Amino acid sequence: MNSKADKMPSSHGHISVLLNEALDLLNVRPGLLYVDATAGAGGHLKQICSRKGTGDGVLALDRDLSALEKLTNRKSEFSGVQFAHTNFADIQTILAQKEISTIDGGILADLGLSSNQLEDGNRGFSFSRTGPLDMRMDASDSSSSPTAYQLINSLKEKDLADIIYRYGEEKNSRLIANQIVSNRPIQTTADLANIISACQKGRSSINPATRTFQALRIAVNNELDSLQQFLKQSSAILAPGARLVVITFHSLEDRIVKQFFKQMASNCLCPPRQPVCTCNHQPQFQILTRKPIIPTKQEVLSNLRSRSAKLRAAEKLPQ
């Protein structure tokens, strides 16, 4: 069981979710190569270096340039770590640029937003912070994706409703989209949150804006497609015995990871009704988490943002 100290905020204001559980499954050992594909505020990265005994042989990726710059300034903590500003969907490309063909240790991805991102109102991720409707993970590249402002102020009502329903699993998606269109132009996160709150029907245990903000963020950053690309590319570059560890924060992400691991661990991919296997598929992974690992009650109490986290892991099999 994790101690209270393991979950207390660091001096950098972020609490890493499922920290020890993720590192235990990553099975960090000296002399092997590891990738933190979503370095963020550096909580998991710091523990990888600590357990490995050095930052040498550790690669840290992040598509958020501001987060990466903060990490590179913490030189005493991350000496020897190689940093790369990139979307984890391009993990094969960035490794090829560094002349790395295989990862013999493991790859970790924590798909949650950091506290630093949520608490910065200028990023537009949080409905509890007034700011511009941005929501881009990589705000340094104005051409990388549309902002949330552009989506909600330009999309047709039906297309907006589809995004809110598909990515936010929001039952009131049509009403919310209608009210957004009726109140255009919408300028700030507070304006949007107020419009969504007015659409609420009945009581809910979560803020009524939660699902819509999630949906817009996913759409802005193309997160689900990026996750699928990351999983596919990671499976190709892992060496036998290396591990892939992923922490998700909502059902859409978790479903993608679960189905990917299940497929990669399967002996057959033929249709269920086909009487004889003809695919000749060989399992490439051994699933290490029969069920997803979730935070303890103690962790949720000390870090409410961990409540929806799920951790899954798999190990590459010899081929």
Angle among Cα 235, 34, 25 to the nearest 5 degrees reads: 75
Query: What is the rounded CA–CA span in Å between residue 173 and residue 210?
Result: 12
Position 202 scores a pLDDT of 74
Assigned architecture for domain 4-116+224-316: 3-Layer(aba) Sandwich (3.40)
What is the radius of gyration, based on Cα positions, of the chain? 20
Tokens of 317: 């099999």
Tokens of 258: 């679960």
Position 13 scores a pLDDT of 57
Position 142 scores a pLDDT of 65
User: Could you tell me the strand order of the sheet in which 243-248 lies?
Assistant: 82-85, 58-62, 34-36, 106-110, 243-248, 310-316, 285-287
Numbered ranges of CATH 1.10.150.170 in the chain:
146-221
Numbered ranges of CATH 3.40.50.150 in the chain:
4-116+224-316
DSSP 8-state code for residue 4: H
Partnered with residue 84 across adjacent β-strands are: 61
Position 144 scores a pLDDT of 66
Buried b (16+ CB within 10 A) or exposed e, 211-232: bbbbbbbbbbbebbebbebbbe
Position 145 scores a pLDDT of 79
Amino acid identity, residue 247? I
Position 304 scores a pLDDT of 87
Single pTM value for the model: 0.92
CATH code of the domain made up of 146-221: 1.10.150.170
Mean pLDDT by 10 residues, the chain (319 residues): 35 76 97 97 96 97 94 93 97 96 97 88 93 92 82 98 97 97 97 95 84 97 97 98 97 97 90 83 94 96 91 96
Query: What is the rounded CA–CA span in Å between residue 156 and residue 184?
Result: 12
